[in-house]
A and B are shown apart, each in its own frame.
Chain A
Amino acid sequence: MLHGPRLSTLSVTLLVVAALVALRRGDERALAAPASDTDSLESPFAAPTDGYHSLGEVTLLLDSWCQTDPSRVTHVELPQSASGLTPPAVLFGAGGVDAAPLESRSTVLLLGGLDGRSLAGSEAALRAAYGLLVGLDTLRTDLAFLVVPWASPDGLARAVAGERHDGRDGTACDDDEDGASGEDPPDDLDGDGQVLELLLEDSRGAWTFSRDRRFVVRASDGDSPRFERAREGRDDDGDGRWNEDGFGGVQLDAHFPSGWKGPGGDGSAGRFPLDDQLARALADLALERRTMIALVFQGNHGGVARPGGTLVAELASGRDRAAYAFLGSAYARATGRASSEVPALRAARERECPGAAIDWLHGAVGALAAEVAVWGPDAVGRDGRANQRRLTPLPETRSGPAPTDTQRRWARWVDDVCGGLDFAEWRPVELGIGRRAWVGGWRNRVDLDPPVELLPHALNGVAPFVREVVDALPRLDIEVLRLERTGELVRLRARVVNRGAFATALGGAGALNAPKGSGALHSSGALGALDGERARVPGEVVFTLEAPCDDALLAGHAVNAVGVLGGGGASQDFEWLISAPPGSVLTLHAVAGETGRARRDLRP
């Protein structure tokens, strides 16, 4: 492990750096790009090229998909971002002209880089979409797929330019409420061409150096020195606060009305929740398109996180623990990563995250929503696979609090793969007002997105993961167990089965937005006309027999509330006696709110 304070002479420093550069180059050569998950499949759709893509490139690629198969892949118009960028979006699904319109189907929503920082997340959404398009003919015809790879274009455009920032959009924002916007942005204090992090010495500060001096941790009593943290820069407006009013803008992933807190603090949560028209359009789409599952590709924790930016959302998503466990294990299987745990969002990010999109998508829309981070400290090790090497023991010679587990995992990655070059050791700077500070931290955004040569490794397994999740969605089927005719008397016994791996109730059943009861259950007058009828609780299955006329049903109920059907083949049987002349048609319907439906016509 490389520690700046240990290097006593310039020559030693140069030797070590040269060795690390060589080691890193060697690693790069050793890390041959893995075969893409979709390389072996033929497809008329253009595949995303390797590397990161700009907004223009993504737009062109999605255009080409729409032109390749305009009947099954269509554009979705989204409003411009605050800076005037238009994020491209496509909607696609299997089925021919006789299939239900894409707009009316239950929808799988794939968002990339909603946090405005995670370019790898955008690439993951793109790869996942392409993986689905490659197998378009094999997808379920009752599903549509809505993909927005660049969900927060303002922030992502800055990330493409190499800027290390907090992902906020171009909305003018007076963060410090002093009547001016953007008057105290970060600056490159030491002229190294990068804006890193600034630690301001402050005896009442909340942070201190950990035992691994590269990382700062929350200070406890007796810890010193203590710091306040800020972006590198001067106090341009002389208000005693450092770089508190820079680019400004709204962080779209803190802008959703689930535990939303604003506009206090720095204004990144927005004036009102969903005040940004792009975020509002995404929310409206999620509502209108009957979103069953929403995967938001972003973050740098390297795994799947369930809703839980706040405690309330965490408790709510706990009701879907089984479904999230499935997501976690599917992701681990597809990517080869060791951990299949699915922590709540605030645990994954190690901070409270009010206003997170997945919390709202789960709680209000009723979708099974999750954040999928393709990048993280364990995503890629020396051999290009997920890093499963044991953590380096902490140095006993140093005092101070231990770094967090995540910091230790990042330290391992810094030491193993990047050779320490992407981490600037903390060095003191003089701010000119008698106040000491330190500048250092991550360089080149490598903790936010993988270096381009590691991107294919980080994306490995994303497409199979999404396909497995899609295939696991609840799927209703109707089995006829017995169908006998005696004169005009028909005896029918049928079974409704959920052949998906997920239960028919997903996403906490949309607890905040559950539709009201139809009141028609078990009513003989409710024969037929199932369209528009909804179960009392989303995901609760209703099994209905449509007979030739109202008085044809001699035994059994026309409408049967089945309840929620679990995954993995859970079923329930029903039996009827019907008076039906030869040649008449009996129709069975099974409907599970937004999560699935099945129909079977019988001619006994």
Chain B
Amino acid sequence: MMSPLQRTSAAAIAGLSALVLASSATPAGPGAAQRPGPPAVQQSDAGFAAPAPRAPAPLNAGSASGLTVWHTERTLGALELVLRECAARAPDAARLIDIGPGREGRRLLGLEIGRRGAPGVVVVPGNVQCSPGELAALGAGGPHASVDATLDLALALLRGLEHDAALRARLEQQRVVLLVGARPDLCGPALAPLPFDVTRNFPVDGDLALQSGGGPYPLAAPGARALAQWLDGERSLFAALIVGAPACAGEVLSIGDTAADAEEARLLSACAARAQAFALSPIGEANSTATEDPGPPAYVPGYGSVSRFARLRLGLAVAAAPLLGDARDVERAGAALYVTLDAEPRLELAAVGRARPVGPDLWQIDLVVQNVGGLGTANPVHVRERRARGVLLTVRDAELVVGAVGSDDGSFEVVEPQRVERGEAAQPVLRLRVGDLAAGAQRDLRLFVRGVAGGALGSMVEVDVAAPRVGGAALRVALAYER
């Protein structure tokens, strides 16, 4: 008899191509949600032609052995073996990552798939934020159900890399980090529990987290410390996907105050719609009959949980994927992952004409910067709390004298550039703070530069834009004597 893990692994492999197809699925209604098969859509959002589904190759022997050991023993060693086998399966695209030490030196392990350092999504198994009582509610796999689902997702992505050109192209520009082993304390032999709830020990919510049992101080649990420090250091991750959060079995949920975050609400609605397409029965049935468009149900996770930390402190968008314990868990998680990856905030820069002289060795460059992604460049919580850092524009090969940023009425507002020293030998870099850009928003920019290297007609000025957790862009603008 197949174990739940084996069943879901097989489903994962079989469903990867369907998963790619599903990323473009039209939001399905309740009737469509009951359809067991994948939606019959042949074009993805990214515009590439989806390959025809084909039978997956079986797992190689090494991977199968690792999975078997993991499923039977639930040890950290077995999990590491599985992840190593996964990394070996696509050595150019997948890597085992060590997040840091947990209790008694147990390492927190994960698998990174895609381009190293690229913008991406971190996938967190739900057991990272499950209190002991909630672990059992995660499905047939118990405390490890969400780990199994995350592992299945990793295997599905690896299988997809072997035959899906679109997926390969996507992961050459983005990455997915699956924190499969982020709760090593649950892997046998299980450690005696700490005298507080390690899932409420993340540095967010202040005293409320402590009062709800989160321990004497934030990050007192070594595993939580390692995970928080790693997340804080990964500045190119823009979203977290919680696979199998405790209260979202069967639902895709927003994290916190959805009303304050329209972009995130849209993202979550899309996740819900895509996940719905894979449901054997309507997901979140109680909500589906409430109103015409109830949207994703609001879910406020426990104070001090990793999802609140990711959203409120780090500014990541957070989505949650349902876990029903059936064969299609991985497809639902995959659908949510694709929607989340598609939402990447991404800046694009375009020149409005060529640079023109406005005085001796002084040039005017008119640009437009646009956020073409599905999420804003800053989490609304960060904007509200004035923690957003805004979009920064840097000019290379020339000195930025002053800049101006367009406002809604068509006028321009002067912005002083900031000078940043880059070591003693390097030239200072002048940067312009543009402000944050919502999804789809654009802003006109006017730069005045001098000292362009070369200085002659046709010389180039390089301008780039960047923001924390946002895909940046660069542009080379040529000098011209146009008026």
- The chain B residue sitting closest to A237, CB to CB, is B419
Q: Given A272-B228, A512-B211, are A360 and B217 neighbors across the interface (CB < 8 Å)? A: yes
CB neighbours of A271 from chain B (8 A) = 232
CB neighbours of A238 from chain B (8 A) = 418-419
Considering the chains assembled together, what is the distance between the CA atoms of A256 and B386 in angstroms? 22
Q: Which of A283-299 contact B (CB under 8 A)?
A: 283, 287
Q: Which of A260-283 contact B (CB under 8 A)?
A: 260, 264, 271-275, 280, 283
Considering the chains assembled together, what is the distance between the CA atoms of A363 and B216 in angstroms? 10
Does B117 touch A at the CB level, under 8 Å?
Answer: no
- The chain B residue sitting closest to A284, CB to CB, is B220
Give B213-244 as 1s and 0s: 1 = Cβ < 8 Å from A's Cβ atoms.
Answer: 00011111000000011001000000000000
Q: Given A240-B416, A512-B211, are A364 and B217 neighbors across the interface (CB < 8 Å)? A: yes
CB neighbours of A240 from chain B (8 A) = 416, 418
Number of interface residues of A (CB under 8 A): 31
Pairwise interchain contact A180-B421, C-beta atoms closer than 8 A: yes
Considering the chains assembled together, what is the distance between the CA atoms of A238 and B430 in angstroms? 9
A401 CB to nearest B CB, Å: 28
CB neighbours of A275 from chain B (8 A) = 219
Does A405 touch B at the CB level, under 8 Å?
Answer: no
Considering the chains assembled together, what is the distance between the CA atoms of A1 and B389 in angstroms? 47
Does A572 touch B at the CB level, under 8 Å?
Answer: no
Does A532 touch B at the CB level, under 8 Å?
Answer: no
Considering the chains assembled together, what is the distance between the CA atoms of A183 and B423 in angstroms? 9
Give B371-410 as 1s and 0s: 1 = Cβ < 8 Å from A's Cβ atoms.
Answer: 0000000000000011101000000000000000000000
Pairwise interchain contact B419-A239, C-beta atoms closer than 8 A: yes
Does B210 touch A at the CB level, under 8 Å?
Answer: yes
CB neighbours of B229 from chain A (8 A) = 272
Number of interface residues of B (CB under 8 A): 25
Q: Given A258-B207, A273-B218, A275-B219, are A239 and B418 neighbors across the interface (CB < 8 Å)? A: yes
Pairwise interchain contact A178-B203, C-beta atoms closer than 8 A: no
CB neighbours of A593 from chain B (8 A) = none
Q: Which of A421-476 contact B (CB under 8 A)?
A: none
Does B422 touch A at the CB level, under 8 Å?
Answer: yes
Q: Which of A505-552 contact B (CB under 8 A)?
A: 511-513
A313 CB to nearest B CB, Å: 9
Does A365 touch B at the CB level, under 8 Å?
Answer: yes
Pairwise interchain contact B389-A312, C-beta atoms closer than 8 A: no
A243 CB to nearest B CB, Å: 14
Does A583 touch B at the CB level, under 8 Å?
Answer: no
Does B420 touch A at the CB level, under 8 Å?
Answer: yes
Pairwise interchain contact A365-B216, C-beta atoms closer than 8 A: yes
Does B206 touch A at the CB level, under 8 Å?
Answer: yes
Considering the chains assembled together, what is the distance between the CA atoms of A240 and B430 in angstroms? 13
Considering the chains assembled together, what is the distance between the CA atoms of A238 and B416 in angstroms? 9
Considering the chains assembled together, what is the distance between the CA atoms of A273 and B202 in angstroms? 10
Q: Given A364-B210, A512-B211, A513-B210, are A273 and B217 neighbors across the interface (CB < 8 Å)? A: yes
- The chain A residue sitting closest to B430, CB to CB, is A238
Give A464-491 as 1s and 0s: 1 = Cβ < 8 Å from B's Cβ atoms.
Answer: 0000000000000000000000000000
Does A179 touch B at the CB level, under 8 Å?
Answer: yes
Does A259 touch B at the CB level, under 8 Å?
Answer: yes
Q: Given A264-B385, A272-B203, A364-B216, are A257 and B210 neighbors across the interface (CB < 8 Å)? A: yes
Pairwise interchain contact A273-B416, C-beta atoms closer than 8 A: no
- The chain B residue sitting closest to A286, CB to CB, is B216
Q: Given A178-B420, A238-B419, are A259 and B207 neighbors across the interface (CB < 8 Å)? A: yes
CB neighbours of A512 from chain B (8 A) = 207, 210-211, 216
Pairwise interchain contact A513-B216, C-beta atoms closer than 8 A: yes
CB neighbours of A272 from chain B (8 A) = 203, 218-219, 228-229, 232
Does A77 touch B at the CB level, under 8 Å?
Answer: no
Q: Given A257-B210, A512-B211, are A237 and B421 neighbors across the interface (CB < 8 Å)? A: yes
B231 CB to nearest A CB, Å: 11
Does A190 touch B at the CB level, under 8 Å?
Answer: no
Pairwise interchain contact B232-A363, C-beta atoms closer than 8 A: no
Considering the chains assembled together, what is the distance between the CA atoms of A271 and B228 in angstroms? 10
Give which listed residue, A180, A183, A260, A365, contacts B206 with CB less than 8 A. Answer: A260
Does A573 touch B at the CB level, under 8 Å?
Answer: no
Give which listed residue, B210, B211, B416, B418, contacts A178 with CB less than 8 A. Answer: B418
Considering the chains assembled together, what is the distance between the CA atoms of A457 and B397 in angstroms? 63
Q: Which of B400-445 contact A (CB under 8 A)?
A: 416, 418-422, 428, 431
* Interface positions of A (Cβ within 8 A of B): 177-180, 183, 237-240, 256-260, 264, 271-275, 280, 283, 287, 312, 360, 363-365, 511-513
Extra contacts, 19 of them, besides A239-B419, A259-B207 (Cβ < 8 A), are A178-B431, A180-B420, A180-B421, A183-B421, A237-B419, A258-B207, A259-B206, A264-B385, A264-B387, A272-B218, A273-B203, A273-B217, A273-B219, A274-B218, A274-B219, A275-B219, A283-B216, A364-B210, A513-B216
Subset of 30 A-B contacts with CB under 8 Å: A178-B418, A178-B420, A180-B420, A180-B421, A183-B420, A237-B420, A237-B421, A237-B428, A238-B419, A239-B419, A240-B416, A257-B207, A257-B210, A258-B207, A259-B206, A264-B385, A264-B387, A272-B203, A272-B218, A272-B219, A273-B217, A274-B217, A274-B218, A275-B219, A280-B217, A283-B216, A283-B217, A287-B216, A363-B207, A365-B216
